Amino acid sequence: LIEQLKKIPLIKEYLEEKLEEIDSYNNQTSNKNKIPRHLTNIGVFRKYCLEYLKHHPQINSEMTLIVRQLAPTGQGIPLEIWTYSDTTNWVIYESIQSDLFDHLFTAMNSFELRAYQRPNGKDLYLNKDDSIKIDL
């Protein structure tokens, strides 16, 4: 996965620096008795989101830009995005927001991540043949 992610220009340098930092930490004598550090796909995805937004032409680079991980829930690990567009036109803003999330939801697959979507009745119906059947 890491080799594939290194092909993404927005995070290539970050990955190289982070891998070197982690390798250095793990090889220090004082850290030999500790659990080794590793990269996580969600951590790298979080960095990708930040870099993508920093380089997006319709994001206001003068204002707050935060991509942060929230506390895990039963539905997964939420990521929160704080950013501002370069427009106050509501229609254009909604279009920018939709395009950003379309891209980020699609990009998740490259990081071996999936968005959680609560199952509904149709999901349960479609998977009914996979369920265990018990005759009483």
Q: How far apart are CA 58 and CA 62, in angstroms?
A: 12
* DSSP-derived 3-state class of residue 44: helix
110's CB contacts (< 8 A; 6+ apart) are 4, 5, 8
Read off the pLDDT of residues 11-29 as tens digits, 9 standing for 90 and up: 999 999 999 999 998 888 7
Summarize pLDDT for 61-86 with one digit per residue, the tens.
999 999 999 999 999 999 999 999 99
Which sequence spans correspond to the domains of the chain?
A: 2-116
pLDDT, residue 87, reads 96
Neighbours of 2 (CB within 10 A): 11
The whole-model pTM stands at 0.83
* 3-state DSSP percent of the chain in helix, strand and coil, to 5: 50, 10, 40
Q: Are 12 and 2 in contact (CB under 8 A)?
A: no
**92-119 mean pLDDT:** 94
Q: Are 111 and 45 in contact (CB under 8 A)?
A: yes
**Interval 40-54: pLDDT, tens:** 999 999 999 999 999
Q: Which residues contact 33 (CB under 8 A, 6 or more apart)?
A: none
Percent of the chain with pLDDT over 90: 73
Q: Out of 34-38, 51-55, 125-129, which region has the weakest mean confidence (pLDDT)?
A: 125-129
